[in-house]
C-alpha cells in the first residue's frame, strides 16, 4: 500500500543521511586531526578541548600498596579497592561494588550528589577485610575517576567544565570536583586522601598500559564516548609548564564534543540535540554513544508510526516517551537471529506495548538498528584512525615492528557485538591490510578503576 511505500521511503532517507562511505570516514578522520592540532595549540582553539591530564608517566608495573578507586561515569558508579604487588604480584587482590545513581541526583544539587557518593564510599570502606592492611598512621588514598570534562589544575584537582550524559547540576560547574568530594567525605566522617583525579579514558589508558606497553590510546564507548592518548609534550603549544622528564603527556580529548560538516547528521539528530539538556554540544557523542542510539531509533519509529501508520492506525503512546527504547534493547533486537525475529517482536511488545508485529515490520526494525549502529561504529573507527594519524601510527614504517594498541572500554563496546565488530572492521578498512597488522584493539575491562588506583599509587603522598 501507499503507507508501506512511505515506510520504505523513510528508511531510505535515513540510510542515505547516515551513509559513511570510506571517503567520508577519511574526511572525518582528517577533520579530527585538524581539530586535535587546534585544541593543542590554544585554550579554546577547538571544539576538542584536548585537556592536559597531568599524567606524564604511565604505570610501570612497580606500583605497590593498597589503594581505593572511585569511578563516577554515567548511570553507575563503582567503588573499588586494590592491592598492588609490584612487577611480580601485579593486582594481588581487587574488590569492588557497583551502585546505581538515583536519577533525581543527576539533576539536583552538588552536595546531594557528592554526599551520596561519599556515603557509599564510607560504607564500602567499612567492609575492609584483613587482607587490606594499611601501615600504622597512614591515610587511605584514592584515585578518583570522573568521566566528565574537567580542566585539571594538577593531578589531584580540577574544575568541572560542564556536565554531559544527562547530568545537569549547575552548582558543580566551575567547582573543583575533588574539593566537592573532600567536603562530602568530611561531612560523612571519612578520612581519605584524593591522590589522583582522572578521566575514565586516562584511567583506561593507564590500566591498559600496565599490562601492555604498546598501549598508546584509550577509547570509551559507553553511556557517552571519549578518547585519550599519549602525546609528545613538544607537540602541545598551549602547555607552558615544565617539560616532563618523560617528554610525554596524556591528553584527554573530550572527543564527544567533536563536530564537523563532514559528520552525517539526520533530521532525527538535530531534533534529539535540540531537545537535549545540552543543545549544540557533544554532537559526536549524540550519534555514537549508548545513551543516544536507542533514542535515535525511537525517533525514526515515531516518524514511521506517525506518517506511515507503521504500527497501525494509531501511534503507540509509549513510543512518544523520550528514551523509552534503551540501547541494550536495541542491541538485543539487532542480534536476533531467529527466523521469525521473535526477540524483536517481544521487545516491541514489552517496551511499546504493541501486541503484534509482522515479520516485515520486524525486518524494518532490524534495518534501522543496523543503519544507526553502523554509523556510530564507523565514525568511532574514523576517530581512532584520526588519533593514529596524529601520532604517526597510521602507516607501517619501513623495518619497524612497533605495535600500536588501543585500549577500549565501556558497555556499548563490550556488549553490542554488531557495533564493536563493525568498528573493528571499519578501522581495518581505513588502515589497509599492512598497517592493520601493527594496530590492535583490546578490551580493557574495568581498566579505568584499576588505572586510577595505579595513578594514585604512583603519586602516593608516601613515596
416 binds ligand ADP (CB under 6 A): yes
Least distance to ligand ADP, CB of residue 412, Å? 4
Residue 229: which H helix or E strand, with range?
Answer: strand 225-232
86 φ/ψ angles, rounded to the nearest 5 degrees: 70, -165
CA-CA-CA-CA torsion for 48, 53, 55, 56, nearest 10 degrees?
50
Least distance to ligand ADP, CB of residue 290, Å? 2
Least distance to Mg ion, CB of residue 147, Å? 5
Strand, helix or coil at 14?
A: helix
Least distance to ligand ADP, CB of residue 313, Å? 32
Residue 222, all three cell numbers: 559507553
Binding partner of residue 331 among ligand ADP, Mg ion, none, CB cut-off 5 to 8 Å per kind? ligand ADP
390 φ/ψ angles, rounded to the nearest 5 degrees: -60, -35
Strand, helix or coil at 420?
A: helix
222 binds ligand ADP (CB under 6 A): yes
Label the pairing between strands 215-221 and 150-154: unpaired
Binding partner of residue 411 among ligand ADP, Mg ion, none, CB cut-off 5 to 8 Å per kind? ligand ADP
Q: Establish whether 200 is a catalytic residue.
A: yes
Q: Establish whether 165 is a catalytic residue.
A: yes
Residue 415, all three cell numbers: 556488549
73 binds Mg ion (CB under 5 A): yes
CA 11/CA 370 separation, integer angstroms: 11
CA 223/CA 415 separation, integer angstroms: 12
151 φ/ψ angles, rounded to the nearest 5 degrees: -90, 105
Q: Of residues 196-215, which lie at the interface with Mg ion (CB under 5 A)?
A: 200
CA 446/CA 69 separation, integer angstroms: 11
Binding partner of residue 290 among Mg ion, ligand ADP, none, CB cut-off 5 to 8 Å per kind? ligand ADP
Q: Which is nearer to ligand ADP, 84 or 288 (CB)?
A: 288
412 binds ligand ADP (CB under 6 A): yes
- Total residues at interface with Mg ion (CB under 5 A): 3
331 binds ligand ADP (CB under 6 A): yes
328 binds ligand ADP (CB under 6 A): yes
* Interface stretch with Mg ion, choices 1-9, 176-184, 221-229, 374-382 (CB under 5 A): 221-229
* Interface stretch with Mg ion, choices 83-91, 193-201, 417-425, 450-458 (CB under 5 A): 193-201
Cα angle for residues 141, 143, 144 (degrees, 5° grid): 125
Q: Of residues 3-22, which lie at the interface with ligand ADP (CB under 6 A)?
A: none
Q: Which is nearer to Mg ion, 222 or 396 (CB)?
A: 222
Of the candidates 5, 53, 457, 418, the one whose C-alpha atom is nearest the C-alpha of residue 227 is 53
Annotated catalytic residue, options 71, 176, 200, 409:
200
Taking residues 52 to 71 in sequence order and writing x for each that binds ligand ADP by CB under 6 A, - otherwise, the string is --------------------
Residue 32: which H helix or E strand, with range?
Answer: helix 22-41
Q: E strands of 236-325, at which residues? A: 248-252
Cβ-defined contacts of 349-352 (< 8 Å, 24+): 351/318, 351/324, 351/325, 352/311, 352/316, 352/318, 352/319, 352/324, 352/325
Annotated catalytic residue, options 47, 165, 347, 389:
165
327 binds ligand ADP (CB under 6 A): yes
- The answer to whether 31 and 382 have CB atoms below 8 angstroms apart is no
256 binds Mg ion (CB under 5 A): no
Residues making contact with Mg ion (CB under 5 A): 73, 200, 222
Residues making contact with ligand ADP (CB under 6 A): 73-76, 147, 222-224, 290-291, 327-328, 331, 410-412, 415-416
Which residues are annotated as catalytic?
165, 200
Amino acid at each position: 500500500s501507499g503507507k508501506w511505500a512511505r515506510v520504505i521511503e523513510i528508511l531510505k532517507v535515513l540510510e542515505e543521511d547516515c551513509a559513511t562511505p570510506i571517503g567520508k570516514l577519511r574526511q572525518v578522520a582528517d577533520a579530527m586531526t585538524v581539530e586535535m592540532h587546534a585544541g593543542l595549540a590554544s585554550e579554546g582553539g577547538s571544539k576538542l578541548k584536548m585537556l592536559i591530564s597531568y599524567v606524564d608517566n604511565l604505570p610501570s608495573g612497580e606500583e605497590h600498596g593498597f589503594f581505593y578507586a572511585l569511578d563516577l561515569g554515567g548511570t553507575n558508579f563503582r567503588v573499588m579497592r586494590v592491592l598492588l604487588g609490584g612487577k611480580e604480584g601485579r593486582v594481588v587482590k581487587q574488590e569492588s561494588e557497583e551502585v546505581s545513581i538515583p536519577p533525581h541526583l543527576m539533576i539536583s544539587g552538588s552536595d546531594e550528589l557528592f554526599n551520596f557518593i561519599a556515603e557509599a564510599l564510607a560504607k564500602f570502606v567499612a567492609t575492609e577485610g584483613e587482607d587490606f592492611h594499611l601501615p600504622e598512621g597512614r591515610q587511605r588514598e584514592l584515585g578518583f575517576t570522573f568521566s566528565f570534562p574537567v580542566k585539571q589544575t594538577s593531578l589531584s584537582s580540577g574544575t568541572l567544565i560542564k556536565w554531559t550524559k544527562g547530568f545537569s547540576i549547575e552548582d558543580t560547574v566551575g567547582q573543583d570536583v575533588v574539593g566537592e568530594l573532600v567536603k562530602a567525605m568530611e561531612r560523612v566522617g571519612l578520612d581519605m586522601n584524593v591522590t589522583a583525579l582522572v578521566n575514565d579514558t586516562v584511567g583506561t589508558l593507564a590500566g591498559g598500559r600496565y599490562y601492555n606497553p604498546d598501549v598508546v590510546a584509550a577509547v570509551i564507548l559507553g553511556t557517552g564516548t571519549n578518547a585519550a592518548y599519549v602525546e609528545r609534550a613538544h607537540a602541545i603549544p598551549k602547555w607552558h609548564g615544565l617539560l616532563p622528564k618523560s617528554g610525554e603527556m596524556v591528553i584527554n580529548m573530550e572527543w564527544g564534543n567533536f563536530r564537523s560538516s563532514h559528520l552525517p547528521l539526520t533530521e532525527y539528530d538535530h531534533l534529539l540535540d535540540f531537545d537535549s539538556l545540552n543543545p549544540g554540544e557533544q554532537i559526536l557523542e549524540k550519534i555514537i554513544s549508548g545513551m543516544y542510539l536507542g533514542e535515535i531509533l525511537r525517533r525514526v519509529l515515531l516518524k514511521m508510526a506517525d506518517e506511515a501508520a507503521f504500527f497501525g492506525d494509531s501511534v503507540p503512546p509509549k513510543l512518544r516517551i523520550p528514551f523509552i527504547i534503551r540501547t541494550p534493547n536495541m542491541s538485543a533486537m539487532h542480534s536476533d537471529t531467529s527466523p521469525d525475529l521473535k526477540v524483536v517482536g517481544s521487545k516491541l511488545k514489552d517496551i511499546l506495548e504493541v501486541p503484534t508485529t509482522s515479520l516485515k515490520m520486524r525486518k524494518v526494525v532490524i534495518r534501522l538498528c543496523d543503519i544507526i549502529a553502523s554509523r556510530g561504529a564507523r565514525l568511532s573507527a574514523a576517530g581512532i584512525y584520526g588519533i593514529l594519524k596524529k601520532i604517526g601510527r597510521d602507516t607501517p614504517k619501513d623495518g619497524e615492528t612497533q605495535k600500536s594498541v588501543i585500549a577500549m572500554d565501556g558497555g556499548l563496546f563490550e556488549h553490542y557485538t554488531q557495533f564493536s565488530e563493525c568498528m573493528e572492521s571499519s578501522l581495518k578498512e581505513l588502515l589497509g591490510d599492512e598497517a592493520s597488522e601493527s594496530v590492535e584493539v583490546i578490551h580493557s575491562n574495568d581498566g579505568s578503576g584499576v588505572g586510577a588506583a595505579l595513578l594514585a599509587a604512583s603519586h602516593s603522598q608516601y613515596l
